[in-house]
Amino acid sequence: MAKTIYIAGLGLIGASMALGIKRDHPDYEILGYNRSQASRDIALKEGMIDRATDDFASFAPMADIIILSLPIKQTIAFIKELANLDLKEGVIISDAGSTKSAIVDATEQYLAGKPVRFVGAHPMAGSHKTGAASADVNLFENAYYIFTPSSLTSPDTLEEMKDLLSGLHARFIEIDAKEHDRVTSQISHFPHILASSLMEQTAVYAQEHEMARRFAAGGFRDMTRIAESEPGMWTSILLSNRETILDRIEDFKERLEEIGQAISKGDEEQIWNFFNQAREQRQAMEIHKRGGVDSSYDLYVDVPDEEDVILRILELLRGTSLVNIHINEENREDIHGILQISFKNAQDLERAERLISENTDYTVVIK
Ligand code: NAD
């Protein structure tokens, strides 16, 4: 039976979800709310949604499923507003917020006792891009799509959501909202704080040490890439997960203190162990396995340092979509450099490996 889906917030996440839903459910009607006209117009023109409004309350009563894809504060404001609207009985409400406890708590406060269902959700994919213009039907492919069931979630709520979102090609997983916030504080929120702190420290330092800007290379780039994230989103993430993040900061201060003391004492063994342990721990982590969070499918080509060599490889890969391309300067030896190309899925990776192996003499390694 065709359903009516209402997506509030046609930004990167909301508009990408609309495309994913349309892929498997072309017969569903998708209604969209957006505050600014630009994303409404794009979403309509590109066929992501069927109808658009700038009045959130007006479309809500028509929906079988409502997805709030807005900043956390606004998500909570709309949950409050939904509590006073005459919604369809049994409507499912869900969201996309990057932290979950504050949102789930708001639903327990405002929606309990109403004939509605709710399941918190966090699609773990995204980028620094914003707005409907950046929407990508493949954004969520192979990414974790986390559900945080609560007292307003019945088993059929999850089944209906998974069916609705099947076209996203994401990997659904369930976890308690508080545990979600604890885990993401360690592996996502706190690393963003570190990246931005390191960036700021370096910028200040570079005022007196001009060469710092010039010498910053691959390691520094990898450590600070996420400092380019959207400030508004990260402010609301930190403010909605305060205690957990503060706990991580305190823990980290102790670690810095410890390695600082080892350096000051000249304790060679402790310093060696510090690096060695981290190296072993990283090597054992999901990141290195195919299918881990944010995993991509990487191929390394040993290319000679010659003119046009990268262009030649890209020419061979014409028609295959690349997620990223990177030259690993640090691994450069005298003659060979290592070109790292990342793909979104295994088929593209295999195709690329075959094309490069068949058409060049370069060594191709898949990791
Ligand atoms: P976006 O900036 O692309 O879109 C945000 C949307 O919210 C836009 O439609 C904007 O018009 C609307 N909006 C902002 N403030 C509003 C307000 N006060 N009133 C009404 N509408 C308002 O951002 P996005 O990346 O699509 O993020 C949406 C949600 O998804 C956020 O909760 C974010 O935490 C979460 N999320 C983002 C990512 C990511 O990497 N981008 C990943 C996972 C989850």
168-219 pLDDT, tens digit each = 999 999 999 999 999 999 999 999 999 999 999 999 999 999 999 999 988 9
pLDDT at 293: 41
pLDDT, mean of residues 23-43: 97
Q: How far, in whole angstroms, is CA 275 from its chain's centroid?
A: 28
pTM of the shown model: 0.82
Q: Is 301 in the pocket of ligand 1 (CB under 6 A)?
A: no
Residue 331 binned pLDDT confidence (cut-offs 50, 70, 90): very low
What is the topology classification, in CATH, of domain 297-366? Alpha-Beta Plaits (3.30.70)
Domain spans in the chain, listed from the N-terminal domain onward: 4-175, 180-278, 297-366
13 CA to centre of ligand 1 in angstroms: 7
Which numbered atom of ligand 1 lies nearest the CA of 56?
20
Q: Is 9 in the pocket of ligand 1 (CB under 6 A)?
A: yes
Residue 330 binned pLDDT confidence (cut-offs 50, 70, 90): low
pLDDT, mean of residues 111-132: 92
Q: Is 233 in the pocket of ligand 1 (CB under 6 A)?
A: yes
Q: Where are the beta strands (DSSP E) in 80-204?
A: 91-95, 116-123, 144-148, 171-174
Which numbered atom of ligand 1 lies nearest the CA of 13?
26
pLDDT at 290: 47
8 CA to centre of ligand 1 in angstroms: 10
> pLDDT digit string (tens) for 132-173?
999 999 999 889 999 999 999 999 999 999 999 999 999 999
Which numbered atom of ligand 1 lies nearest the CA of 134?
3
* CA–CA distance, 103 with 119 (Å, rounded to integer): 10
97 CA to centre of ligand 1 in angstroms: 8
pLDDT at 289: 57
Residue 328 has pLDDT above 80, yes or no: no
DSSP string, 3-40: -EEEEE--SHHHHHHHHHHHHH-TTSEEEEE-SSHHHH
Q: Is 224 in the pocket of ligand 1 (CB under 6 A)?
A: no
What φ, ψ does residue 82 adopt, rounded to 5°?
-60, -30
Most informative mutation of 7, 10, 13 for ligand 1 (most atoms within 8 A of CB): 13
Look at ligand 1, atom 40, and give the residue with the nearest C-alpha: 126
Q: Is 72 in the pocket of ligand 1 (CB under 6 A)?
A: yes
Domain 180-278, CATH homologous superfamily name and number: 6-phosphogluconate dehydrogenase C-terminal like domain (1.10.3660.10)
Least confident span in 42-51, 220-229, 293-302: 293-302
Q: Which residue has the higher pLDDT, 330 or 344?
A: 344
Q: Is 39 in the pocket of ligand 1 (CB under 6 A)?
A: yes
> pLDDT digit string (tens) for 270-321?
999 999 999 999 988 877 654 444 456 888 888 877 778 889 999 999 988 8
Residue 329 binned pLDDT confidence (cut-offs 50, 70, 90): low
DSSP string, 288-349: GSTTSTT--EEEEEEEES-TTHHHHHHHHTTTSPEEEEEEEGGG--SSEEEEEEEESSHHHH
Which CATH entry fits the domain spanning 4-175: 3.40.630.10, 3.40.50.720, 1.10.10.520, 3.50.30.30? 3.40.50.720
Which numbered atom of ligand 1 lies nearest the CA of 237?
34
